[in-house]
Amino acid sequence: MNTEILGIIVMFVLTLLLSLPLGRYIAKVYGNGRTFLDPVFNPLERLLFKCGGINPHKEQNWKQQLVALLVINLIWFFLGMFILLNQSWLPLNPDHNPNQTPDQAFNTTISFLVNCNLQHYSGETGVSYFSQLYLMFLQFVTAATGMAAAAAVFYAFRKGTHQTLGNFYNAFVKSITRILLPISIIIGMILILNHTPMTFEGKQQMITLQGDTTYVSTGPVAAFVPIKHLGTNGGGFFGANSAHPLENVNYITNMTQMIAQMLIPFAMVFAFGQFINRRKLGWAIWCVMTLGFLILCIPNIIMEMHGNPNITAMGVSPALGAMEGKEVRFGAPSSAYWSIATTVISTGSINSMHSSYMPLSGMNMLLAMMTNCFYGGCGVGILNYFIFIILAVFVSGLMVGRTPEFMGKKIEAREMKIAMIVALLHPLLILAGTALAAALPSQTASTLANPGFHGFSEMLYEYTSSAANNGSGFEGLGDNTPWWNISTGFVLILSRYLPIIGPVAIAGILGAKKYIPESAGTLKTDTATFGFMVFAVIVIVAALSFFPALTLGPIAEYFGMG
Amino acid sequence: MKQHILPAIRLTLVLMILCVGIYSLLLSGFARLTPEKGSGEKITDGNGKSYYANIGQRFDTTIYFNSRPSAVAYNAAGSGGSNKGPNNPDYLKEVQQRVDDFKQKNPGASIPADIVTASGSGLDPDISVAAANAQVARIAAARKLSQQTVQQLVNKSIDRPFFGPQKINVLKLNIGLDQLSH
């Protein structure tokens, strides 16, 4: 058991150690500073901008940035729909997988477009290699979209008054060429050296030692998996995602994928501090996020190590922990660590089946997605946290009777309205969606895999995962029906774009305001007190709005245990 | 909005060449340099037949170390777990059945959790050390080997990684077992 706990600690510490230099590097990339890789990337980017017909030095205000962002996303949507609806005759389909149905293609395209990757299909049978490669493309560009939106917010908080926030295309392309692509190549090489397949051949027949005939799906897995984690996308190449022994071969690949998914969310926080020249603020934000992460993660590790009491009662040794849905090569503790890492961040990849976790472990995963800002997704995590900072500044301002300020900018009614809309949208989508699904048993009852409270949790999890753009699931849910495909599709769209538009708009408005120099009366945002304040706001918003729903699901199930 | 459409299409196309074409080719080229050429690790048995080392196989006879229960019957053209909740009464009945079967096949042995529960992928290539130990007496009797010989094979097969749990690859263990009997 000691090597297992040690493995977890090493994963976390390594992530932190790697994210610090990466954060400094990201700040330089967005600040157009010099890096040692310029001789490679400058000509490459010039070529890309030239082919794209884009002037990367043209300054854009927040509205122009958002229009550019939304237009290019719309193009990717149409392209995705076309490919998934026609994959049967498009190239690279050695297994002759059929076209997706329109509602499934809608859900698949949307969920990859919004960095969620809900996947109401299985990779082995639901998509061709051509479609997989397009989905891989979306994993690159959607991660870069989130990062470019975060970069726009970074720009707004440089000292002084700014009408513009840099150029969207510039930050977007540089996120790919300078950050996502090089790191993905390194990770891909590590995976290949650890026996992850990288081939375009179809299914292989295999006669087992016992004499059964089976078929083995492989594919270009080692290209797909790095960006799936680095971009916090989480869409699996195979149905079982990173529990599959070819997608996640051994403990080393498990650690690599774990570090890859937490790396950029960590680094973006430090990059923010570096960029606006307030490193202490970066650390303060990271500490609050880590506190939230540990509060959810440690109980899960302990609960899963204790095993399922119902099964222990049958005379089964609990020494290995709860093993239903978990792989022997990862073990219960590091699977539990992954279960929270992948839900606090918006990855949603899994190395064990979340539906089979203990009830309160399942609740912690739900809470991780309901708060959705402890680290959070690639770029968008810090945007979500930014909303809570604005709320906390406002509440603090009211408490001390001063005009709320953040980074020398007054926060007024218009920004508060936007922040409130974004903060309330999340619970609204989750709770209204779940309520609707529960009220329409004709659509949903037959899709549930478990009776009772756990069945309710399956529906709650599906909408929470959609609204958090997470993509994991209580996968027993038979979710490839028009109801689930379409209803979650709309939740996905709203919960991706409004939480990007909101923070960028706030940042744009604040950036254009007059800069008020810091004085003795300024609220310090890089202190432990303020950190606690933000944490309290997050807890109140998450706990108050979701507690009733959690009571009907995992909490009721917990008290119903034998 | 209009002035963004054309650049968006053009940028999408060049980025596809970069992120799909060049990126995949680079990694494919790198995979070509490895001994297995990117097709996944293989192992060969005494008869020269080769298998995917990391794809679990169904082993349910008395003469082989049994693998874990699988929600997809070890068919590697798909993958997945049972997704049953920890309280589901039908599921618990199924586990009870597996416990009873295991007790009957391996009387007196302790029962580790992995051997009566289904894995996440349904293709788990490994079992725990405890699950192998619990089957030693049965295998020795079925193959007319001494318990000590079988136990030695088990001990030799334990994978002790620096991080993470100890485990045993069932396929490698059973191939070793076949070679032992020859």
B27/A244 touch (CB, cutoff 8 Å), yes or no: no
Reading the block at residue A218, the tokens are 């492989």
Average pLDDT over residues A73-83: 96
Q: Is A310 among the domain residues?
A: no
pLDDT by residue for chain B (182 residues), tens only, comes to 678 999 999 999 999 999 999 999 999 999 999 998 989 999 999 888 999 999 999 999 999 999 999 999 999 999 999 999 999 999 999 999 999 999 999 999 999 999 999 999 999 999 999 999 999 999 999 999 999 999 999 999 999 988 999 999 999 999 999 998 76
Residue A124's pLDDT band, with cuts at 50, 70 and 90, is confident
The greatest distance separating any two alpha carbons of chain B, rounded to the nearest whole angstrom, comes to 80
Residues whose CB is less than 8 angstroms from the CB of residue A471 and which lie 6 or more positions away in sequence, other chains included = A111, A116, A117, A118, A119, A233, A234, A235, A346, A347, A348, A349, A465
* CA–CA dist A79, B92 (Å, integer): 46
| CA–CA distance, B98 with A384 (Å, rounded to integer) | 46
The residue type of A248 is: N
A304 touches chain B (CB under 8 A): no
**Distance of alpha carbon B171 from alpha carbon B182, whole angstroms:** 17
* Dist. CA A10–CA A6, nearest whole Å: 6
- The answer to whether B76 contacts A214, with C-beta atoms less than 8 Å apart, is yes
CA distance A8 to chain B (A): 8
Three-state secondary structure call for residue B22: helix
What is the per-residue pLDDT across A49-73, written as a single tens digit (0 to 9) for each? 999 999 999 999 999 999 999 999 9
A-chain residues near B64 (CB < 8 A):
209-210
CA gap A109, A81 in Å, rounded: 6
Residue A124 lies in a domain: yes
In-domain check, residue A204: yes
d(CA B101, CA A230): 44
Nearby residues of A295 by Cβ (< 8 Å), 6 or more positions away: none
Among the residue ranges A115-129, A161-175, A429-443, the one predicted with the least confidence is: A115-129
The answer, yes or no, to whether residue A546 has pLDDT greater than 60, is yes
A176/B19 Cβ within 8 A? yes
Listed in sequence order, the residues at least 6 apart from A561 whose beta carbon sits closer than 8 Å to its beta carbon are A309, A310, A359, B86, B87
pLDDT, tens only, A306-362: 999 999 999 999 999 999 999 999 999 999 999 999 999 999 999 999 999 999 999
Residue B64 and residue A318: Cβ atoms within 8 Å? Answer: no
* pLDDT 10s digits, B9-35: 999 999 999 999 999 999 999 999 999
CA-nearest of A462, A280, A496, A279 to A376 is: A496
Q: Is A249 on the interface with B (CB under 8 A)?
A: yes
Per mean pLDDT, which range of A195-204, A401-410, A436-445, B24-33 is the poorest?
A401-410
pLDDT, tens digit (0-9, with 9 covering 90-100), for A512-533: 999 888 887 788 889 999 999 9
Cβ B75–A215 below 8 Å, yes or no? yes
DSSP-assigned letters across all residues of A507-561: HHHHHTSPPPPP-TTSPPSSSHHHHHHHHHHHHHHHHHHHHHHHIIIIIHHHHT-
The residue among A16 and A125 whose pLDDT is bigger is A16
Q: How confident is the model at residue A562 (pLDDT cuts 50, 70, 90)?
A: low
Residue of B nearest to A245 (CA): B54
Has residue A198 been placed in a domain? yes
Predicted pLDDT of residue A1: 56
Query: Which residues make beta-bridge pairs with A204?
Result: A216
Q: Say how far apart CA A226 and CA A183 lie, in whole Å.
A: 8
Three-class secondary structure of residue A462 per DSSP: helix
Assess contact for B41 and A150: CB atoms under 8 A.
no
Average pLDDT of A10-16? 96
**Measured distance CA(A240)–CA(B2) in Å, rounded:** 42
DSSP A176: I
- Taking the CA of residue B146 and the nearest CA in chain A, the distance in Å comes to 23
The DSSP string of A330-398 is THHHHHHHHHHHHHHSS----SS-GGGS-HHHHHHHHHHHHH--SS-STTHHHHHHHHHHHHHHHHHHH
Listed in sequence order, the residues at least 6 apart from A442 whose beta carbon sits closer than 8 Å to its beta carbon are none
B120:A125 CB<8 A: no
- Rounded Cα distance between A113 and A135, Å, is 9
User: What residues does A215 pair with on adjacent strands?
Assistant: A205
Rg of chain B, C-alpha, whole Å? 23
- Residue-level pLDDT at A202: 87
A4 part of contact set with chain B, CB < 8 Å: yes
How far is A464 from A460, CA to CA, in rounded Å?
6
Question: How far apart, in Å, do the first and last CA atoms of chain A sit?
Answer: 27
**Listed residue (B123, B38, B124) closest to A197, CA to CA:** B38
Look at the block and give the residue holding tokens 């809570």: A388
The answer to whether A523 and A402 have CB atoms below 8 angstroms apart is: yes
Residue A400 has pLDDT above 90, yes or no: no
Give yes or no for residue A421 having a pLDDT over 70: yes
Contact A140 B76 (CB under 8 A): no
Q: Any idea what DSSP says for residue B159?
A: B
Chain A residues 21-60 within an 8 A CB cutoff of chain B:
47-48, 51-54
Residue of B nearest to A130 (CA): B20
* A352 touching B (Cβ < 8 Å): yes
CB B105 within 8 A of CB B122: no
What's the half-sphere exposure (Cβ side, CA atoms, 13 Å) at A186? 9
Chain A environment of B89 (Cβ under 8 Å): 451
Helix (H, G, I), strand (E, B) or coil at B136: helix
The answer to whether residue A473 is domain-embedded is no
> For residue range A427-450, what is the model confidence (pLDDT) as tens digits?
999 999 999 999 999 988 889 999
pLDDT at B74: 94
Quickly list H helices, chain B.
Answer: 2-16, 23-32, 89-105, 129-133, 136-143, 147-157, 170-181
pLDDT at A561: 84
3-state SS of A402-442?
A: CCCEECCEECCHHHHHHHHHHHHHHHHHHHHHHHHHHHCHH
- Two tokens, residue A206: 């295999």
User: Is residue A11 in a domain?
Assistant: yes
Shortest CA distance from A170: residue in chain B: B11
In what helix (H) or strand (E) does residue A255 lie, and over which residues does it extend? Answer: helix A251-275
Burial of A278 (0-12, 13-18, 19+ CB in 10 A): middle
Tens-digit pLDDT profile for residues A449-485: 999 999 999 999 999 999 999 999 998 888 889 999 9
How much is the average pLDDT of A255-278? 96
Q: Which two structure tokens, joined as six digits, stand for B23? A: 């990126």
For residue A522, what pLDDT is reported? 82
Residues pairing with A406 in the sheet: A409
The mean pLDDT of A7-36, rounded to a whole number, is 94
DSSP letter at B18 equals: I
Which helix (H) or strand (E) segment holds residue A216: the answer is strand A213-216
Give every CB contact of residue A463 below 8 A, 6+ residues apart in sequence: A429, A430, A433, A434, A437, A488, A491
- 3-class DSSP string for A302-327: HHHHHCCHHHHCCCEEHHHCCCCCCC
C-alpha of A31 from chain center: 25
Which domain, by its residues, includes A200?
Answer: 2-277
Q: In the prediction, which pLDDT does A36 show?
A: 84
User: In chain B, what is the straight-line distance between the N-terminal and C-terminal CA atoms, in Å?
Assistant: 75
Beta-carbon contacts of residue A504 (< 8 Å; ≥ 6 apart) = A62, A65, A66, A149, A152, A153, A165, A383
The C-alpha atoms of residue A112 and residue A136 are separated, in whole angstroms, by 9
Q: Pick the residue with more confidence: A224 or A202?
A: A224
Residue of B nearest to A313 (CA): B96
Taking CA A434 as the corner, what is the angle to CA A428 and CA A490, rounded to the nearest 5 degrees? 65
Q: How many CB pairs under 8 A join A and B?
A: 352
- Among A142-146, A429-433, A537-541, the minimum mean pLDDT is found in A537-541
Among candidate residues A180, A177, A146, the one with its CA nearest the CA of residue B14: A177
Averaged pLDDT for residues A173-184: 96
Domain count for chain A: 1
User: Which residues of chain A have a CB within 8 Å of the CB of B122?
Assistant: 240
Q: Which phi and psi angles does B71 have, rounded to 5°?
A: -75, -15
Residues of B in contact with A305 (CB under 8 A): none
Cβ-nearest to A307 among B51, B84, B113: B113
